[in-house]
Amino acid sequence: CNVADREEVFKVAEKVKKEVGDVTVLVNNAGIATAKSLLNQSLDEITRVINVNVIAHYWTLRAFLPSMIEKNHGHVVAISSIVASYGFGPYGTTYCPSKSAVRTMMEAVSEELRALSNGKSSVKFTTIYPALVLTGIVKKPKFRFPWLMGGLLPQKVASTIIDVQRQNYENKSIPLFWLPLINVLRILPDKAIKCIIDFLDFRVDPDD
């Protein structure tokens, strides 16, 4: 279904419940991007990215989280990105903030459930931060150090996501070194961070 359409999401959720049963593992993975500067994006393009990358999470959570809470069993996995922590390069003015929103949303709903259940909730939350996955979402990626910046095969990433979910990690990056590295970089002065980004030279060419 179109995950940005709440009526479609709720309709499919009801169909799944009737035909299969309650969902116990929800993976919010849908994501799109446009490689354009902010002022070159149409209003519809901006809205579509935010609707698919952010708002859709609200609809799927509203559809599937209640049964998890009722049974005190379930796991929500959300796919963010390593760019959630910093707006790398140009053409990321909608995609990067959308992935930051996913990270904060998962932190907030996890903490909300923990507080409202007095720490007794067994529903798990995992946020994944991949580097560049070769899904075609980015048409013309460029990086000085491919081994560092990504170029990950979707099959390998999917397998890693399953492993991370089964091990009940709350946060994990792919490759694994990226999240700790970004956390360290964030304590550096702003000028130092910009110099590092310039050195890494990770960027995308704009869409035609």
Residues acting as catalytic residues: 95
Burial class, 124, CB count within 10 angstroms (exposed 0-12 / middle 13-18 / buried 19+): middle
Cis before 175? omega within 30: yes
CA distance 13 to 202: 39
Pair 83, 92: CB distance under 8 Å:
yes
Calculate the alpha carbon distances from 146 to 110, 119, 130, 200, 204 in Å. 34, 42, 14, 10, 13
